[in-house]
Amino acid sequence: MLQPKRVAIVAEVEEDWITPVDTRMETVGGTVFRRSLSDVEDTVDDEDIAAIKADLGGCRREIS
């Protein structure tokens, strides 16, 4: 959870070397969280599928 008076930056970055970003973030008191793009896409797909299934269930109840 993002704490009050804190900022989050979400970026898609291709990096060959993580040290420059980590070092800079450390100097400003930041934290870097990395996830592969495929993991993020999988999570979004799973959420979309769950929402579609919920909508379908609602439609089925309305028809019954």
Supply the pLDDT for residue 53: 93
Domain ranges of the chain: 19-63
pLDDT higher than threshold 90 for residue 12:
no
Supply the pLDDT for residue 10: 86
- Binning pLDDT at 50, 70 and 90, where does residue 63 land? confident
Q: What is the mean pLDDT of the chain?
A: 88
Is pTM beyond 0.85? Reply is: no
The mean per-residue pLDDT over the stretch 4-9 comes to 88
pLDDT higher than threshold 90 for residue 23:
yes
3-state helix, strand, coil in the chain (%, to 5): 55, 0, 45
Q: Compute CA distances 59 → 45, 46, 49, 51, 54, whole Å.
A: 21, 20, 15, 12, 9
